[in-house]
Amino acid sequence: MSFGTKNEDKIQAAVMSAAGTFMLRKFVIIIAAFALSAAMLSAQTPVEKVILKYEDADGSRNFIAQGLKMTLARNLLKSTPVAPVASDVDQLYVLKMEDASQSERLRFVSDLNDALKQYDYYGRQQSKSGEVEVYVHYTSPDSIDELVIYNPEIYSLNSLFGHFTAQELMALDSK
């Protein structure tokens, strides 16, 4: 004895098909989200690529801060000439090549010079460890997303990612 409709099997098949379609859509969305995340992670700036290329070179020292590690890094930045924009820094990459071999430093400088062609030169600034060169990368005319500070005397490269305005950076000149 059956209490359902004579189309009960068809209804169950339709429900199963709809559930399968929903699961397939959900699966496709999850895969697309992972692909987008991977693409965003691999979208590196030219200077970031140089830093990551040389981070394991013999004699190099590096420091990369993002996420929770940025809390400590911001406190360190507050004792530097970039203190006024420290709270705007989301990621910090530091590479020091002073102790690397001469040939490694020459390759590093060559790669860095190629990378810096894609940045706007901001100027030179005196620091306690020598004169540094400052470069910026713009996302729009009023918004800077990367500040690069390079000390050629000691082969020290710093890349600060965040959202900076030109006015904030111009204020650093007077500090």
What does the pLDDT look like over 101-113, one tens digit per residue? 999 999 999 999 9
Q: At what angle do helices 46-54 and 102-116 cross, to 10 degrees?
A: 170
Contacts of 91 (CB under 8 A, 6+ apart): 64, 65, 66, 70, 159, 160, 161, 162
The C-alpha atoms of residue 153 and residue 43 are separated, in whole angstroms, by 30
Average pLDDT over residues 25-35: 47
pTM of the full predicted structure?
Answer: 0.72
pLDDT mean across residues, the chain: 81
Closest to 146 in 3D by CA, of 121, 131, 132, 164: 164
Scanning the structure block, which residue is given the tokens 């006024």?
Answer: 84
Query: Which tens digits make up the pLDDT trace of 37-57?
Result: 443 444 789 999 999 999 999
Query: Which tens digits make up the pLDDT trace of 67-108?
Result: 889 988 998 888 888 888 898 999 999 999 999 999 999 999
